[in-house]
Amino acid sequence: MPLNKSSINFGMVYIPINYASLLKNNDINFHLLDKNTLSRIKYKKVSEANEDKEILAKDIVKGYEYAPEKYAVLEDKDFEKLKTKKDKSITIEKFVDIESIDPLYYDRPYLINPQGAEHAFHLLAQAMENKRKVGVAKTVIGQKEALVIVRSKNGQLFLNTLFFDDEIKEVDQEKITDKFTKEELTMAEQLIDNMSGKFNPADYKDNYKERLQDAINKKIAGKRVSKPKEVQSKKISNLMDALTESIKATKKTKGK
pTM of the predicted structure, to 2 decimals: 0.76
**Contact (CB, 8 A) for 22 and 111:** yes
pLDDT of residue 175: 76
Architecture of the structural domain at 4-25+81-166: Beta Barrel (2.40)
Task: Enumerate the domain spans of the chain.
Answer: 4-25+81-166, 182-255
**Contact (CB, 8 A) for 22 and 110:** yes
For residue 77, count CB atoms less than 10 angstroms from its CB and return exposed for 0-12, middle for 13-18, buried for 19 or more: exposed
| pLDDT tens readout for residues 25-70 | 888 999 989 999 999 998 889 998 888 899 998 899 999 999 998 9
For residue 188, count CB atoms less than 10 angstroms from its CB and return exposed for 0-12, middle for 13-18, buried for 19 or more: middle
pLDDT of residue 179: 84
C-alpha 222/C-alpha 173 separation (Å) is: 53
pLDDT of residue 142: 79
Helix axes 239-255, 182-194, angle to 10 degrees: 30
Least confident interval from 127-141, 150-164, 166-180: 166-180
Per-residue confidence band for 172, with pLDDT thresholds at 50, 70 and 90: confident
| pLDDT tens readout for residues 189-231 | 999 999 999 989 899 888 888 988 999 898 899 999 888 887 7
Radius of gyration of the chain, Cα coordinates, nearest whole angstrom: 27
Residue 197's contacts (CB-CB under 8 Å, 6 or more residues apart) are none
